[in-house]
């Protein structure tokens, strides 16, 4: 099968979150299964720094707009693990400081930027090889599906080529003014409630939902949640209409990078059968955060996250005065909203023997937190898929999560310390505190705690099963459109 991925990010070239990792990891596994996989992303300024003079594959691809044309080069990002990567190079659109926005807000021409990217991908495949299927990711690439079923409707090359849209986070949709319809050369009869219009805006993600042959999202629970008003962000009705074509496929984990038996960033390797190395990882983590004299009976709670309300930091702040009274220490790594960055640093100054915070993104330290913590805290208000709880299970670090999205699908709590983690329901900081207290109680029973660790480490969230599920969806939509 010839599969084209279109996305705004892909590790290692452009990465602000889970999309980049999914595009990279899933494409590699699909290639290993015998499929031909090509990935297209924009040639951002940050990509150009990493790949300064890539070979030119196509010197000029014409992208028409209402009153002018844009022209893009297609450059070769190389081939690794069987996956070919191409960059869409249009400097006036992508040679900018950030991918999507400045501190003052989103780029006002994001409609043109990602509309041009989507058309460039379609046009390029005409010359480099028409795929059997397009797999597009989030609103930035959703217009590939829209264009295929509108501007390219009568093109015999694409008439029977289906598309699959993956929604990584329904909170980001790509809203633009109505006049963007004309800019993108789309007919006004597509600006209706049952097509592209959403609250009097042109909505890229809604267009992808309406016009893709199938829609996937990154966990079974999140596929259910986005059909409700609480999580659908205004798209719940159109998602319910497409529920027969909506699939929740849990993201996989890259165990070649996240595995305590082989991890190059941690102080000692360990397995479920030989856990001694985890004690050394715990000592190393405490040293890295500046803790001294922490007793073995004291639980180490770790957090690696974007500091934001969506990640549940309002809950964490709300319980902090009660939490520090417990027999635990808390290490937090991340950055994000300025309010939480400052507040968490103030809390660390107030409770220096209990709380340490490092405001930065650091891949090495994140591995140390996963390996050295006893408990991993992830109280997200919503979490479409989530990866850190999966890493935590592999590292024998018992997760405490809110029962939402992928967190609910991957972490299992049973009475009296059964299961492999702890969960709480609702928007309630008290429920979070109660879950932490349950965990700390079980932590004192080392035999019971070791059994929880071993159950978590036995879980397998590798990419092979999700890749096979995607393959079945590809085969289904290809057959339906043939």
Domain regions of the chain by residue span = 2-252+463-481, 276-457
Helix residue spans in 39-129 (DSSP H)? 45-50, 91-94, 110-128
Residues 6+ apart with CB under 8 A from 452: 398, 417, 418, 419, 420, 421, 442
Distances (CA, A) of 117 to 5, 12, 191, 319: 12, 19, 21, 45
Q: Do domains 2-252+463-481 and 276-457 have the same CATH topology?
A: yes
Q: Are 134 and 148 in contact (CB under 8 A)?
A: yes
CB-based contacts of 286-289 (< 8 A; 24+ apart in sequence): 286/329, 286/331, 286/372, 288/365, 288/368, 289/331, 289/356, 289/358
Residues 6+ apart with CB under 8 A from 446: none
CB-facing half-sphere around the CA of 386: CA atoms within 13 A: 35
Closest by Cα among 249, 230, 121, 242 to 170: 230
Which pLDDT score, from 0 to 100, does residue 336 have?
A: 87
Which pLDDT score, from 0 to 100, does residue 417 have?
A: 67
d(CA 378, CA 355): 16
3-state secondary structure (DSSP) of residue 108: coil
Q: What is the pTM of this model?
A: 0.91
Distances (CA, A) of 465 to 3, 94, 306, 386, 479: 18, 35, 28, 17, 21
Structure tokens at 464: 């092979």
- Domain at 276-457, CATH homologous superfamily: Glycogen Phosphorylase B; (3.40.50.2000)
Which H/E stretch holds residue 30? helix 18-32
Tens-digit pLDDT string for the chain (482 aa):
999 999 999 989 998 878 998 999 999 999 999 999 999 999 999 999 999 999 999 999 999 988 899 999 999 999 999 999 999 999 999 999 899 988 788 999 999 999 999 999 999 999 999 999 999 999 999 999 999 999 999 999 999 999 999 999 999 999 999 999 999 999 999 999 999 999 999 999 999 999 999 999 999 999 999 999 999 999 999 999 999 999 999 999 989 999 999 999 999 999 999 999 999 999 999 999 999 999 999 999 999 998 999 999 999 999 999 999 999 999 999 998 999 999 999 999 999 999 999 999 899 999 999 999 999 999 999 999 999 999 999 999 999 999 999 999 999 998 876 799 999 998 889 999 999 999 999 999 999 999 999 999 999 999 999 999 999 999 999 999 98
DSSP single-letter state for residue 374: S
d(CA 205, CA 207): 5
SS3 per-residue string spanning 229-293? CCCCCCCHHHHHHCHHHEEECCCCCCCCCCCCCCCCCCCCCCCCCCCHHHHHHHHHHHHHCCCCC
CATH of 2-252+463-481 given 3.40.50.2000, 2.60.40.2550, 3.30.70.2190, 3.30.230.70: 3.40.50.2000
What residues form DSSP beta bridges with 143? none
339-350 CB burial, b ≥16 within 10 A, e <16: ebbebbeebbee
Structure tokens at 34: 């015998």
Residue holding tokens 């390029």?
Answer: 124
- How do 214-217 and 246-248 pair as beta strands? parallel
Cα 4 to chain centroid distance, Å, stands at 19
Residue holding tokens 């929880």?
Answer: 452
Taking only Cα atoms into account, the Rg of the chain, rounded to an integer number of angstroms, comes to: 23
DSSP single-letter state for residue 190: G
3-state secondary structure (DSSP) of residue 83: strand
Closest by Cα among 226, 183, 230 to 206: 226
d(CA 53, CA 323): 52
Residues 6+ apart with CB under 8 A from 55: 75, 76
d(CA 201, CA 182): 13
d(CA 267, CA 64): 55
């Amino acid at each position: 099968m010839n599969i084209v991925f279109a996305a705004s990010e892909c590790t290692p070239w452009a990465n602000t979150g889970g999309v980049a990792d999914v595009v990279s990891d899933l494409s590699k596994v699909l290639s290993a299964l015998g499929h031909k996989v090509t990935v297209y992303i924009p040639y951002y300024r940050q990509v150009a720094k990493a790949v300064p003079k890539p070979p030119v594959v196509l010197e000029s691809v014409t992208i028409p707009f209402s009153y002018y044309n844009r022209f893009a080069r297609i450059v070769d990002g190389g081939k690794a693990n069987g996956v070919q990567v191409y960059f869409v190079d249009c400097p006036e659109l992508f040679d900018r400081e950030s991918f999507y926005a400045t501190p003052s807000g989103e780029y006002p021409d994001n409609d043109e930027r990602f509309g041009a990217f989507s058309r460039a991908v379609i046009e390029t495949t005409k010359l480099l090889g028409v795929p059997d299927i397009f797999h597009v990711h989030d609103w930035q690439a959703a217009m590939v599906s829209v264009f295929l079923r509108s501007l390219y409707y009568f093109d015999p090359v694409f008439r029977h080529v289906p598309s699959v849209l993956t929604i990584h986070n329904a909170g980001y949709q790509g809203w633009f003014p109505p006049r963007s319809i004309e800019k993108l050369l789309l007919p006004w009869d597509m600006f209706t409630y049952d097509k592209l219009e959403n609250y009097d805006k042109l909505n890229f993600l809604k267009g992808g939902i309406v016009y893709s042959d199938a829609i996937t999202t990154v966990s079974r629970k999140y596929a259910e949640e986005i059909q409700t008003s609480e999580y659908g962000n205004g798209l719940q009705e159109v998602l319910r209409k497409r529920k027969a074509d909506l699939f929740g496929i849990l993201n996989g984990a890259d165990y070649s990078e996240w595995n305590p038996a082989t991890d190059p960033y941690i102080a000692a390797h360990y397995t479920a059968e030989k856990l001694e190395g985890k004690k050394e990882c715990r000592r190393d983590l405490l040293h890295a955060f500046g803790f001294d004299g922490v007793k073995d009976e004291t639980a180490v709670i770790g957090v690696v996250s974007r500091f934001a309300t969506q990640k549940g930091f309002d809950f964490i702040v709300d319980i902090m005065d009660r939490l520090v009274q417990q027999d635990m220490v808390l290490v937090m790594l991340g950055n994000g909203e300025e309010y939480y960055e400052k507040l968490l640093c103030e809390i660390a100054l107030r409770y220096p023997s209990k709380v340490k915070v490092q405001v930065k993104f650091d891949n090495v330290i994140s591995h140390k937190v996963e390996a050295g913590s006893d408990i991993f805290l992830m109280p997200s208000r919503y979490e479409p898929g989530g990866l850190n709880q999966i890493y935590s299970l592999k590292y024998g670090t018992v997760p405490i999560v809110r029962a939402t999205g992928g967190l609910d699908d991957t972490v299992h709590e049973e009475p009296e310390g059964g299961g492999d983690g702890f969960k709480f329901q609702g928007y309630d900081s008290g429920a979070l505190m109660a879950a932490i207290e349950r965990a700390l109680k079980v932590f004192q029973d080392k035999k019971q705690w070791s059994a929880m660790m071993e159950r978590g480490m036995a879980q397998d969230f590798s990419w092979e099963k999700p890749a096979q599920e995607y393959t079945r969806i590809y085969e289904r939509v290809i057959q339906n459109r043939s």
